[in-house]
Amino acid sequence: MTLRYIHTADIHLDSPLCGLSAYQDAPAEQLRGATREAFRQLITLAIEERVDFVIIAGDLYDGDWPDFNTGLFFCAEMGRLQRAGISAFVLFGNHDAESNMTRALRLPDNVRCFSAKVCETHVIEQLKVALHGRSFKVRETTENLVQGYAAPLRDYFNIGVLHTALQGGYSGHANYAPCSLDELHAKGYDYWALGHVHEYKLWADRSTICFPGNLQGRSIRETGRRGAVMVTVGEDHQPQVERLFIDVLRWEHVMVDVSDCDSLDAVGIATGRHLIGLLESDAQVPRAVRVSLQGESPIHGELFQREQELRAHVLAEIAAIAPERLWLEKVKLATRPMVVQTDAALGGDALAELEALLGEARHDQALLQELREDFNQMLAKAPDLLAEVPALKLTRDGDLGALLDNVLPGLLARLGMKD
């Protein structure tokens, strides 16, 4: 008998998408409804493909939401599954543990939730499948839950459902329910349906272990294709995992080398070429894009001085390419000034003396201390500058060398051009 099921996690229903709402050109309706629409499309796919069941491995909700419409939406989608004869197995993770909806709403009969008290095993007798799992009782669950999971049932296809960061955690994810890959393999299950980490990851060894990633990216920190996985199991009990791309709005980070650009128009054209390439795959999925300009640029200083105009150039390219499918999250400047050699052609002795003076500033401790204090006062008033000018972080930490390296070539070049 062939078995097929969908494994999803980290849906975060009605969680806001961050980073676009402040912009006039932001797709407000799509931002508000993206997590719902992605989940609706997943359920539609489950029904169309006639899967045997659906697993949700934690963080269905996004904390203690006061609006029960989120839970009512989930009940309605589970009702669609029930009418199609498909069961859903739901494990609650760190965000669900604090949700009123987790405790208060009665779900349709086809939904089976894992207990938060002890590991619970749900058996689908006609399919010879056993699902083992334990929900989070509280958000800060830092114990190793795997140690309490039941032994696999003989002659069944055994699935472990777990919300975890694995041993040591993943960057950007709290270290909840830590355990090791070796512990998961040693349990003897055929498949581990994990949640919590928002990036797709698959290990195939004694057990097949999978993070499907989150269903819908919610900020520029979650770029690229997002979705769930379809798992197909044949008579040999070997799971075959296929990625399902469900996201309805995708975040992308585009790197544009502007080393050969000598004007804002040229920068806009170079950016446009990259944006066109972005739409060559999954063109129907709208993109929220961060554009990072990099390279050793002859107009490095001009780019920083004319940021609003630069953004307008990029927006003009988007308007010409696909305004209904591309939205600009931010233009980030990461260019470097061109290295300039100072000689008589660039101003002779005066520029050489200025270069020497700035170079000596590295060794003047009194001057450096005064500069540090001035910069720290400036950064306290404008902390966002740290994100826009990376060299300032070193300055804040006491290293003015990086700042001088950025300032010196551009300053000398600008003064030299005035001769």
Residues 226 and 247: their CA atoms lie apart, in Å, by 5
Q: How confident is the model at residue 417 (pLDDT cuts 50, 70, 90)?
A: very low
> What is the share, in percent, of the chain residues with pLDDT greater than 90?
47
Q: What is the arithmetic mean of pLDDT over 363-371?
A: 68
Note the pLDDT of residue 71: 83
Q: Which residues contact 397 (CB under 8 A, 6 or more apart)?
A: none
Note the pLDDT of residue 373: 73
- Tell me how many domains the chain contains: 3
Note the pLDDT of residue 138: 61
349 and 307 fall within a common domain:
no
8 and 125 fall within a common domain:
yes
Please determine, for residue 159, whether its predicted confidence score (pLDDT) is greater than 60: yes
Q: Give the domain-ending residue among 245, 276, 298.
A: 245
Note the pLDDT of residue 49: 97
334 and 382 fall within a common domain:
no
50 and 11 fall within a common domain:
yes
321 and 361 fall within a common domain:
no
Q: What is the arithmetic mean of pLDDT over 168-175?
A: 56
Q: Which residues contact 74 (CB under 8 A, 6 or more apart)?
A: 13, 39, 60, 101, 105, 107
Evaluate whether 237 touches 221 at the Cβ level (below 8 Å): no
Please determine, for residue 142, whether its predicted confidence score (pLDDT) is greater than 70: no
Please determine, for residue 247, whether its predicted confidence score (pLDDT) is greater than 60: yes
**Least trusted range by pLDDT, from 118-127, 136-145, 193-202, 356-365:** 356-365
Q: Give the domain-ending residue among 338, 372, 394.
A: 338
- Structure tokens belonging to residue 10: 């980290």
Q: What is the arithmetic mean of pLDDT over 170-187?
A: 77
Evaluate whether 336 touches 296 at the Cβ level (below 8 Å): yes
Distance of CA 64 to the CA centre of its chain: 22
> What number of CA atoms fall less than 13 Å from residue 245's CA on the CB side?
10
Q: Give the domain-ending residue among 245, 265, 299.
A: 245
64 and 144 fall within a common domain:
yes
43 and 170 fall within a common domain:
yes
Q: Give per-residue pLDDT as tens, 68-123.
A: 788 889 999 999 999 999 999 999 886 665 555 556 678 899 999 998 889 999 99
316 and 179 fall within a common domain:
no
301 and 418 fall within a common domain:
no
Q: How confident is the model at residue 419 (pLDDT cuts 50, 70, 90)?
A: very low
185 and 196 fall within a common domain:
yes
Note the pLDDT of residue 393: 61
- Structure tokens belonging to residue 103: 């405790």
Please determine, for residue 343, whether its predicted confidence score (pLDDT) is greater than 60: no
Q: How much is the pTM?
A: 0.78
Note the pLDDT of residue 58: 86
Q: Which residue in this structure is represented by tokens 């969680």?
A: 15
214 and 310 fall within a common domain:
no
- For 312-354, the DSSP string reads HHHHHHHHHH-TTTEEEEEEEEEEEEPP---SGGGTHHHHHHH
Q: What is the arithmetic mean of pLDDT over 266-289?
A: 91
Name the residue range of residue 38's domain: 3-245
Note the pLDDT of residue 95: 60
Q: What is the arithmetic mean of pLDDT over 373-377?
A: 71
Note the pLDDT of residue 257: 95
Please determine, for residue 131, whether its predicted confidence score (pLDDT) is greater than 90: yes
41 and 160 fall within a common domain:
yes
Calculate the alpha carbon distances from 160 to 5, 149, 300 in Å.
14, 8, 53
Q: What is the arithmetic mean of pLDDT over 221-237?
A: 93
> What is the share, in percent, of the chain residues with pLDDT greater than 70?
71
3-state secondary structure of 203: strand
